[in-house]
């Protein structure tokens, strides 16, 4: 489950940034997770809860909340220009049945924002 590592990295970054801004506790972390990012939201939540309980990352405690903002997967066919939602990374264009879709969005995994006090 690579989400554990991703979450740890994200929370470390948030924690360090919060320290710089003099915050003692993280209340909420918002992440953008693309449908094509190979990151499973359920696994992220599981990892987040685990870190909140153990308290092993400074400033991330049991009160912290996780918000996951989904980014829709979108591809544009390089042949016919059709835009479609690929169901997997190399989905076929529904118009011409060719695997020439160029991913437009949905690969993002990043920290959108966080709140602390």
Site residues (vs Zn ion, CB under 5 A): 77, 79-80, 82, 93, 95-96
Nearer to Zn ion, 106 or 116 (CB): 106
Position of tokens 């220009």? 81
Is 93 flagged in the annotation as binding?
yes
CA distance 112 to 100: 30
Concatenating the DSSP letter of every residue in 3-71 gives HHHHHHHHHHHHHHHHHHTT---EEEEEEEEETTSS--HHHHHHHHHHHHHH--STT--TT-EEEEEEE
Shortest Å distance, C-beta 82 to Zn ion: 5
**Beta carbon nearer to Zn ion, 50 or 78:** 78
Which residue, 43 or 103, has its beta carbon nearer to Zn ion?
103
Rounded least distance, CB 96 to Zn ion, Å? 4
Annotated binding-site positions for Ni(2+): 2
């Amino acid at each position: 489950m690579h989400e554990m590592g991703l979450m740890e990295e994200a929370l470390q970054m948030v924690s360090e940034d919060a320290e710089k801004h003099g915050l003692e506790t993280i209340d909420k972390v918002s992440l953008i997770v693309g449908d094509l990012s190979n990151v499973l939201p359920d696994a992220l939540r599981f990892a987040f809860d685990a870190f909140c309980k153990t308290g092993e990352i400074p400033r991330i405690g049991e009160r912290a909340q996780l918000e996951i903002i989904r980014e829709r997967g979108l591809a544009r066919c390089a042949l016919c220009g059709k835009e479609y939602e690929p169901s997997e990374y190399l989905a076929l264009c529904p118009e011409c049945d060719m695997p020439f879709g160029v991913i437009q969005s949905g690969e993002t995994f990043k920290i959108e924002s966080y709140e602390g006090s």
